Amino acid sequence: MELAVFERVDRLQSFRHVAVRGFWNVRIFALFLLRMRPLSSIPAKMPISSPIQTFLEQLHNQYKGLREGKVASYIPDLMKADPDWFGICVVTFDGQVYEVGDTRQPFTIQSISKPLAYGIALEDSGNEKVLSKIWMEPSGEAFNSISLDPSGRPLNPMINAGAIATTGLIRGHTTEQKVQRILEVFSDYVGHELEIDESVCRSESETGHRNRAIAYMLRNFDVFTDDPMPSLEAYFKQCSILIHCRDLAFIGATLANDGVHPITARRAVGSAHIESMLSVMASCGMYDAAGEWLYSVGMPAKSGVGGGILAVLPGQLAVAVFSPPLDERGNSARGIAVCRELSTRYNLHLFNSVMPSRSVIRHRCTAAQVSSNRSRPAEEIALLNKYGQSIHLIEVQGQVTFGPAERVIRELIACADSAFAMILDFSRVPQMDAVASQIFLESLAALAEKGLWIHVTRSHHLPELSCKSQLMPSNTPSVRLCWEEDADRALEFCENRLLESLGNRHCSSLAVSMENCELFENLSPDELKLLSPMLSTRSFAAGDVIFEEGQAASEMLIILQGKVSVILTLPNGFTYRVNTCTPGMTFGEMGLLDRSPRSATVRADTSILALSLSAEVFEALLNEHPLIYAKLLGNISRHLAIRLRKRNAEVINSHL
């Protein structure tokens, strides 16, 4: 009975124990779940609104109440526009869109078609022919003024006379052929197919007596040599192409992006014509308000009586505004106000955004401060420390156009007299234009002709700089001018040439014996004797890959004779030599220390004689000969520390 009671108590206790344990287990599990919960139930973060988007919304709010201006009425159909329609859209050269308001409301492009048509005419008829028919002087007159320059040419392609003549210079004999060509190109600008608002077109054609008068005047002055009417009708159609504010901004972004649509990557216009198109937009795009516009907004722009305004900041972005009420000069009243505000707020004025190119030299130093990864004997290191300042290393950065290039070249010339070699690194130059590449090549060739060693490193992504055939004047690159993707090899090359010029025949790798190897420093003769049979001898031919990146590590090698290079493969496919090892040095020890795969490839530069210490032998030493094991580890650590210190010094140097 007692036993039974005890048994019960016992069972009860063990039940409680299980229950209590279970309770805690449940709690721990619940806590675990709680900890997990946030992953699935993190409250959705409020989307972060770009300050640019916020500013556009502010502007929209600020100007939607503006009651200035009247919707165009001279083309009856345009009167159907709602004066409250108001959209703003900014598109960057790479296609980022910021938009607010009625950015998808279709409207007719009207005069904003003029610069685009001008681009087509330049493409179809060539500069010379176009300029012989249409000049590029701002008229300071209204868009529909009946005026020609003294030689009988329209003053510019942005006023109607010039625009009608422009359409005449677009490929095609019939209205349809011209319109098809125009529609195709305009569609490339916006990234989708476009249509014509036939009703607006008819309305304009029925009332377009003034434009007809202009067209016949052009015929009179032989700007047209045959019937101008097909071209005039094509012009009416071109003006009646339907777009919306976002399309308009993409037209501008395409122009800002050198003629290539930022999303579809289709070229809408040849790069060579953009300068001409933007020039006439800048000087004549806003008709009789062109001067004031350039003064206060400072971007090439074009407006249309449909209520659109497009402003382009080359290489950066486009601003498009749509709001039908026009001021007395025929430009969208809200459009002008918004562009002005945007230009002021974001410093978009063309003449304001030119940054002086002071920061084009990212870093400069000499070979007295940094050295190549080639391991060298002490006397070579001493010579390089003493004379290395005649090898200049210059790292160029940023976009390089004429200004920044001139700045670097000036520096090169200034130190040329005392220089032995120059290494120019371009890995941080994303782009260099043709002019900058050319003046670089000219000056580098001149320096090389003078006897300097010139190395251009990491420039493979700059085709015009890497194109040796551009070399002036003889087109034969000097042997002293070299291109090298591995900056370290370039430095080693220059170091070697300098050492040679100092009469030093850089060290052929003499063989060393086991006791002179780094790994065996401080080992007693007895210890060396004991260790010796545990090592095996290995030999490799020049060019052999000794270790391959990613391979499992099973041994470390101690070089008795020859040289190896330790090479990393970079994400861009190029290789970078991180280190070299000469007789007496050990490689492959890192993989043995942490048992991880090889982190680099090791290649034999010459024929190699080496000792191999296998992973098993190394591990067995720990138990069998702990003192030897400790000494080996101490030596490995010391030499890793020396390498790390060298890297630290380089990091500091690269920030000087």
Catalytic residues: 111, 114, 235, 287, 305
Q: Which is nearer to ligand GLN, 162 or 330 (CB)?
A: 330
Identify the burial level of 202 via C-beta atoms within 10 angstroms of its C-beta, where 0-12 means exposed, 13-18 middle and 19 or more buried: middle
Of positions 204, 425, 492, 555, contacts ligand GLN by CB under 6 A: 204
Q: Which is nearer to ligand GLN, 267 or 329 (CB)?
A: 329
Q: Which of 575, 361, 613, 557 lies closest to 489, judged by CA?
A: 575
Q: Which is nearer to ligand GLN, 111 or 254 (CB)?
A: 111
What is the contact mask toward ligand GLN in residues 291 to 310, using x (rule: CB under 6 A)? -------------xx-----
Q: Which is nearer to ligand GLN, 119 or 304 (CB)?
A: 304
Cβ of residue 313: shortest distance to ligand GLN, in angstroms? Answer: 22
Does 333 sit near ligand GLN (CB under 6 A)? Answer: no
Q: Which is nearer to ligand GLN, 122 or 201 (CB)?
A: 201
* Contacts (CB under 6 A) with ligand GLN, residues 100-139: 110-111
Identify the burial level of 111 via C-beta atoms within 10 angstroms of its C-beta, where 0-12 means exposed, 13-18 middle and 19 or more buried: buried
* Contacts (CB under 6 A) with ligand GLN, residues 389-428: none
SS3 544: coil
Cβ of residue 104: shortest distance to ligand GLN, in angstroms? Answer: 21
Does 99 sit near ligand GLN (CB under 6 A)? Answer: no
Cβ of residue 137: shortest distance to ligand GLN, in angstroms? Answer: 18
What is the contact mask toward ligand GLN in residues 142 to 161, using x (rule: CB under 6 A)? -xx---------------x-
What is the contact mask toward ligand GLN in residues 173 to 192, using x (rule: CB under 6 A)? --------------------
Cβ of residue 574: shortest distance to ligand GLN, in angstroms? Answer: 54
Amino acid at 592: L
Q: Which is nearer to ligand GLN, 117 or 391 (CB)?
A: 117
Cβ of residue 298: shortest distance to ligand GLN, in angstroms? Answer: 21
What is the contact mask toward ligand GLN in residues 474 to 513, using x (rule: CB under 6 A)? ----------------------------------------
Contacts of residue 332, defined as CB under 8 A and 6 or more positions apart, other chains included, come to 69, 303, 307, 308, 309, 321, 322, 323, 324, 325, 326
Does 211 sit near ligand GLN (CB under 6 A)? Answer: yes
519 φ, ψ (degrees, to nearest 5): -65, -25
Total binding residues for ligand GLN by CB under 6 A?
Answer: 11
Of positions 191, 330, 584, 591, contacts ligand GLN by CB under 6 A: 330
- Tokens 């009860």, residue located: 12
**H or E stretch including 210?**
helix 209-220
Cβ of residue 158: shortest distance to ligand GLN, in angstroms? Answer: 9
- Tokens 């920061």, residue located: 359
Q: Which is nearer to ligand GLN, 254 or 303 (CB)?
A: 303
| Other CB atoms within 10 A of residue 172 CB | 17
**CA–CA separation, 246 vs 250, rounded Å?**
6
**CA–CA separation, 501 vs 266, rounded Å?**
55
Q: In what order do the strands lie in the sheet with 241-243?
A: 107-108, 241-243, 195-196
Of positions 239, 312, 394, 436, contacts ligand GLN by CB under 6 A: 239
Indicate the DSSP class of residue 287.
G
**CA–CA separation, 321 vs 317, rounded Å?**
13
Contacts of residue 166, defined as CB under 8 A and 6 or more positions apart, other chains included, come to 114, 117, 118, 121, 130, 134, 157
The C-alpha angle 195, 201, 206, rounded to 5 degrees, equals: 165
| Other CB atoms within 10 A of residue 20 CB | 10
Cβ of residue 327: shortest distance to ligand GLN, in angstroms? Answer: 12
Cβ of residue 164: shortest distance to ligand GLN, in angstroms? Answer: 8
Q: Which residues bind ligand GLN (CB under 6 A)?
A: 110-111, 143-144, 160, 204, 211, 239, 304-305, 330
